[in-house]
Amino acid sequence: MNKELSGYINARIDEFDQIEDPRIEVLQDLAQYISKKSSFTSTDLIFICTHNSRRSHMSQIWAQIAAYHYRIKNIKTYSGGTDATAFYPRAVAALKKAGIVIEQKDSSANPKYLVSYTDDTEKITAFSKKYSDPFNPQKKFCAVMTCSDADEACPVVFGAEKRISLPYTDPKKYDGTAEEEAKYDERCRQIAREMFFVFSRIKQ
């Protein structure tokens, strides 16, 4: 990892005491699921939000990096939505500021990105898609609902063996305002902090 990303990660780990007790309970539930499953088989996590444009992508990427950081093997993270739109540029920018290398591969309305955090790991392919897209696992995965709208819109996530509600406030409402950059950075920090907390609690 580059120094910028390593420093960002260490700063988030130092902020575990900022996580409120009700969220800790949910995060520990996710950690327990991963601990039990990853000890004997691969573990697939799909982070789901309505448009798969902001919070679900951030969660997917930070969870994969956290698994690598804590040497938790057999983890594969994905994201999806109830609709497909595009990976929002401000969310991409917030992740880049953290030290993650993100390369846009095309200029379509829903471009694909290659996300890299080390030289020795497979790059993450990021683009907006429905959670049921063939790119994602179709069964025996944990569905992590990162927004309340998706949680309500998907009373059943077909194929999921575990479902966890972990909503994050949408930074979208600050789009086009003077607070936009700061709010996306804030949400990026929160998601990173909580994903690293999850994987720090996993025993194999």
Mean pLDDT of 38-51: 89
Supply the pLDDT for residue 149: 78
| Strand extents, DSSP E, 63-192 | 75-80, 101-104, 113-116, 124-126, 141-145, 160-165
Residue 204 in this model has a pLDDT that exceeds 60: no
Residue 172 in this model has a pLDDT that exceeds 90: yes
| Strand extents, DSSP E, 42-174 | 43-48, 75-80, 101-104, 113-116, 124-126, 141-145, 160-165
Supply the pLDDT for residue 54: 96
Residue 55 in this model has a pLDDT that exceeds 90: yes
Residue boundaries of the structural domains of the chain: 3-200
Supply the pLDDT for residue 1: 86
Supply the pLDDT for residue 52: 94
Which backbone phi and psi does 70 adopt, to 5 degrees?
Answer: -95, 10
pLDDT digits over 28-44, tens only?
999 999 998 877 788 99
pLDDT digits over 58-117, tens only?
999 999 999 999 999 899 999 999 999 999 999 999 999 999 999 999 999 999 999 999
Supply the pLDDT for residue 37: 84
3-200 to CATH, choices 3.40.50.300, 3.40.50.2300, 3.10.310.10, 3.40.50.880: 3.40.50.2300
Which backbone phi and psi does 10 adopt, to 5 degrees?
Answer: -60, -35
Residue 168 in this model has a pLDDT that exceeds 80: yes
**Pick from 137, 126, 135: nearest CA to 100:** 126
pLDDT digits over 104-158, tens only?
999 999 999 999 999 889 999 999 999 999 999 999 999 999 988 777 877 789 9
